[in-house]
């Protein structure tokens, strides 16, 4: 794939090319370089990408974007971070794709992946999206720079933990459609209130292209605040949700035979029945937001419905794995990537709805960045744990002391100071027929616990 020529990169970044070359991909992590890629040698607080030029070219890099002299094929610029932003902006300027931006306190990555699956089903091979959770000041321009010139749809996740960050990202992405999935007390440490979080998420609408469409959660207590944020920038506002009055509404939801949900949805000009493979009300909400966006960009709603049925669980965000336990098996639900009060409650509800032969076990790690009310947020998890009929809990991290106190002796539980300590406790606890939910903030490191349990490694 001809993604960029050296002349195009030099023109976009104001740099000077040392040779003619063509690249098929872009990366700033030398471990992700593949044959034909452009390696961007970024200078960070911890290291300098220029130290990894040899590794990048050994892995097949076709050229590099550098700010220091090198004998390798390269484009030299003054500042590689600024050049990455310029390359992302150039990609956005040249594309004819319909661009969709996604943000929210919860559900960003799941919605982005579901939307990509839907649009790729509509136009196979011509949909592009940001990979992983590349949603910050480096990940967003990188994702833009990677967008093929032939793309018909581009889906970009945007995150923030401070005021003003989304405003900068959305003006780079310039979406035709901007989605806010939900508002919850994530990153509360950096905001005085949940209303302030809603205001910061509402910044995504500031980058909307003329004629752009805002997609907003109807059932959110911050709906009107988000609508007010969108109104100066959006030509049209579309709401989604479960309640009467939402523009895209789930009129009928029942559990599917093999997990997931059967959904009938009403749109302004269409009705659609579909199966969504992933269990939980939050996935139904994600699907409604996706339908609103697919409709807004002229995609095929029926094809989107088929994509929902085929959607696999995402690693760290609901992937289901089988754990060998003695002569039997247990179900492991991997939600280890991130956690906040809203996502904890949603996934505990999924565990509660899971039919089990054995017990329901919750391995829950600390929720980070919740600020001075952190203890209250952790203690409040006691109610959804009891509602989910959890039989046993392993609570990981110091902040979980508040939850342990709130549970008292109503739900059997044990404390673990860290993820490594929790591994042995989990192995001792799990029995055939159990369903185990693993969830916590990514920094807690529960992904390692998941891999260890799933692979049986010591």
- Strand runs (DSSP E) across 47-169, as ranges? 63-66, 74-76, 98-103, 127-129, 153-157
CB 79 within 8 A of CB 55: no
Residue 90 CA to residue 274 CA, distance in Å, equals 38
- Rounded to the nearest 10°, the torsion over CA 261, 386, 450, 419 is 150
> Which fold would CATH assign to domain 319-455?
3.90.190
**105 labelled as ligand-binding?**
yes
Does 104 belong to an annotated binding site? yes
Task: Please tell me the pTM assigned to this model.
Answer: 0.89
- Report domain 95-310's class: alpha beta
User: Is 108 assigned a ligand-binding role in the annotation?
Assistant: yes
Indicate where the chain has its CATH 3.40.1390.10 domain(s).
Answer: 4-79
Residue 109 in marked binding region: yes
Burial of residue 47 (number of CB atoms within 10 Å: 0-12, 13-18, 19+):
exposed
Tokens of 117: 């699956």
Burial of 214 (0-12, 13-18, 19+ CB in 10 A): buried
Answer yes or no: is 159 a known binding residue: no
Residues of the chain with CATH 3.40.1190.10: 95-310
- β-strand 98-103 against 16-17: which pairing, if any? unpaired
- 6 known member of a binding site: no
Contact (CB, 8 A) for 266 and 248:
yes
Please tell me whether residue 293 adopts helix, strand or coil conformation: helix
Is residue 363 within 8 A of residue 323, CB to CB? The reply is: no
The one-digit pLDDT tens for each residue of the chain (458 residues) are 799 999 999 999 999 999 999 999 999 999 999 999 999 999 988 889 999 999 999 999 999 999 999 999 999 999 999 999 999 999 999 999 999 999 999 999 999 999 999 999 999 999 999 987 789 999 999 999 999 999 999 999 999 988 999 999 999 999 999 999 999 887 788 899 999 999 999 999 999 999 999 999 999 999 999 999 999 999 999 999 999 999 999 999 998 877 899 999 999 999 999 999 999 999 999 999 999 999 999 999 999 999 999 988 888 888 999 999 988 999 999 999 889 999 999 999 999 999 999 999 999 999 998 999 999 999 999 999 999 999 999 999 999 999 999 999 999 999 999 999 999 999 999 999 999 999 999 999 999 999 999 887 65
At the fourth CATH level, the homologous superfamily of domain 4-79 is MurE/MurF, N-terminal domain (3.40.1390.10)
């Amino acid at each position: 794939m001809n993604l960029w020529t050296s002349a195009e990169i030099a023109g976009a970044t104001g740099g000077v090319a040392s040779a003619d070359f063509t690249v098929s991909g872009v990366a700033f992590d030398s471990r992700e370089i593949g044959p034909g890629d452009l390696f961007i040698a970024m200078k960070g607080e911890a290291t300098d990408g220029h130290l990894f030029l040899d590794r990048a070219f050994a892995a097949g890099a076709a050229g590099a974007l550098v700010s220091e002299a090198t004998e390798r094929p390269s484009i030299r610029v003054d500042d590689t971070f600024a050049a990455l932003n310029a390359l992302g902006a150039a990609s956005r300027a040249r594309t004819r794709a319909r661009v969709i931006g996604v943000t929210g306190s919860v559900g960003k990555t799941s919605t982005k992946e579901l939307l990509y699956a839907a649009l790729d089903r509509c136009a196979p091979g011509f949909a592009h999206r940001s990979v992983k959770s590349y949603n910050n000041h480096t990940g967003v321009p990188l994702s833009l720079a990677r967008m093929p010139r032939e793309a018909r749809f581009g889906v970009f996740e945007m995150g923030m933990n401070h005021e003003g960050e989304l405003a900068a990202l959305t003006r780079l992405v310039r979406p035709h459609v901007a989605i806010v999935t939900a508002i919850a007390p994530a990153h509360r440490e950096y905001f005085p209130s949940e209303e302030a979080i809603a205001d910061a998420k509402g910044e995504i609408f500031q980058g909307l292209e003329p004629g752009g469409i805002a997609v907003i959660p109807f059932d959110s207590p911050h709906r009107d605040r988000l609508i007010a944020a969108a109104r100066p920038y959006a030509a049209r506002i579309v709401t989604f949700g479960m309640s009467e009055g939402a523009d895209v509404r789930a009129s009928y939801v029942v559990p599917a035979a093999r997990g997931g949900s059967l959904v009938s949805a009403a749109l302004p000009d269409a009705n659609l029945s579909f199966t969504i493979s992933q269990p939980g009300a939050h996935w139904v909400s994600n699907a409604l937001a996706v339908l609103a966006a697919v409709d807004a960009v002229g995609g095929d709603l029926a094809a989107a419905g088929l994509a929902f049925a085929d959607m696999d669980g995402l690693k760290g965000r609901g992937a289901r794995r089988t754990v060998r336990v003695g002569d039997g098996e247990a179900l492991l639900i991997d939600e280890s990537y991130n956690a906040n009060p809203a996502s904890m409650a949603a996934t505990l509800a999924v565990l509660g709805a899971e039919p089990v032969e054995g017990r329901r076990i919750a391995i829950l790690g600390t929720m980070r960045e919740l600020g001075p009310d952190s203890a209250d947020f952790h203690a409040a998890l006691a109610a959804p744990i009891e509602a989910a009929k959890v039989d046993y809990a392993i609570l990981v991290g110091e902040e979980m002391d508040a939850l342990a106190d709130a549970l008292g002796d109503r739900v059997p539980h044990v404390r673990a100071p860290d993820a490594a300590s929790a591994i042995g406790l989990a192995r001792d606890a799990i029995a055939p027929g159990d369903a185990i939910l693993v969830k916590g903030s990514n920094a807690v490191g529960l992904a390692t616990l998941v891999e260890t349990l799933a692979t049986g490694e010591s």
